[in-house]
Amino acid sequence: MSDTMQQLQETVSYIRGLVSGEAATGIILGSGLGNLSNVIVTEKEISYNDIPHFPVSTVEGHKGRLIFGELGGKKVWVMAGRFHFYEGYTAQQVAFPVRVMRLLGVQTLLLSNAAGGVNPAFGIGDLMIINDHISLFTVNPLLGKNEDKLGTRFPDMSEPYSKELIKLAREIAVKHNISLQQGVYTGVTGPTFETRAEYKLIHILGGDAVGMSTVQETIAAVHCGMRVFAISVITDLGIREEENTITHEEVLQAAKEAEPKLTLLFTELVKSL
Ligand code: HPA
């Protein structure tokens, strides 16, 4: 068995020793978006520090807990806090918890993130359904020997984000009067925010938003056969004005303000699965 499979099995059996319940849905919460965990009826909460082979999340705004509980009447696994490439983890480490969720039985993965908007139609606080991504500026988590037990060597990426889940989310949004943007998320490594020239380039290349997470998790999830739904909270607008700057605090604040809409959308989405 490969080292990765060995580690995955050790992690899964540790978690299985604490939680025997099953959940078909997994959720990973982004920067400043951890509050969804407060509406979950928690059955078990495990600190990342205690989980074998789990990296420890270092970024502010991430609580670093794996939660098993109920949301919208359904059992869910929730990662409150994710691992980012910019923290110094490898792309494989970033993807590790996604694979753990798969081996725990998760089939559908919901992801949220804070992102910079580069589509001029976007405003701060908008929610953007990710309908595709550009992952050429980050490191692919599937580099290296393929884990054949998880998925194929050359995974198809023609529909990384499930059209069916996007349709469901749009219906829910209409029903609850939540306005939604839709677009292409461009993954970058960070930790620097983009320069003016980079935001412009990303827009020219076809990106609508840019962020430092999600694409590696999505690739790993698609590789092992999961359905993915992902949404960005637009927390800044890619330096449009001369004097404009971007800080992590502003990103967290904007995420916090948009969070109730996201919590409602995720709750209803899970309910309808
Ligand atoms: N760029 C990259 N990552 C981000 C941004 C951004 O503007 N906003 C929030 N995360």
pLDDT tens-digit readout, 169-192:
999 999 999 999 999 999 999 999
Domain 3-272 carries which CATH code? 3.40.50.1580
Q: Report percent pLDDT > 70 for the chain.
A: 95
- Cα(213) to ligand 1 centroid in Å equals 9
Q: 149 vs 8, 12, 106, 141, 155, CA distance in Å?
A: 12, 15, 16, 16, 13
Asked whether the predicted pLDDT for residue 62 surpasses 60, the reply is: no
| 78 in Cβ contact with 29 (< 8 Å) | yes
Q: Are 168 and 271 in contact (CB under 8 A)?
A: no
Using a 6 Å CB cutoff, which residues line ligand 1? 114-116, 188, 190, 193-194, 210-212, 235-236, 238, 246, 251
Find the mean pLDDT for residues 19-46: 90
**Residue-averaged pLDDT of the chain:** 92
Instruction: Kindly list the distances between the CA atom of residue 110 and the CA atoms of 76, 114, 150, in Å, as whole numbers in the listed order.
Output: 10, 14, 19
122 half-sphere exposure, CB direction, 13 A CA radius: 30
Q: Computed from CA positions of residues 147, 150, 154, 157, in that sequence, does the dihedral angle turn out positive or negative?
A: negative
How far is Cα 79 from Cα 136, in angstroms, rounded to an integer? Answer: 25
- pLDDT tens figures, 119-163: 999 999 999 999 999 999 999 999 999 999 999 999 999 999 999
**Total-model pTM:** 0.94
Which pLDDT does position 167 carry in this prediction? 97
- What pLDDT sits at residue 61? 45
What residue ranges do the domains of the chain occupy? 3-272
- Measure Cα distances from 159 to 77, 124, 223 in Å: 24, 27, 12
Whether residue 88 has pLDDT greater than 50: yes
Strand duo 227-236 + 127-134: pairing: antiparallel
Atom 7 (ligand 1) nearest CA: 116
pLDDT > 90? residue 249: no
For residue 241, pLDDT over 80 is answered with no
Residue nearest to atom 6 of ligand 1 (CA): 116
pLDDT for the residue numbered 55 = 81
Distance CA 36, CA 159 (A): 27
Averaged pLDDT for residues 240-267 = 83
**Confidence category of residue 38, pLDDT binned at 50, 70, 90:** confident
Q: How much is the pLDDT for 210?
A: 97
CA of 50 to the centre of ligand 1 (A): 30
- What is the position in ligand 1's atom list of the atom closest to the CA of 117? 7
> Which of 212, 253, 256 is the best mutation target for the ligand 1 pocket, counting ligand atoms within 8 Å of the beta carbon and taking the most?
212
Q: How high is the pLDDT of residue 254?
A: 79
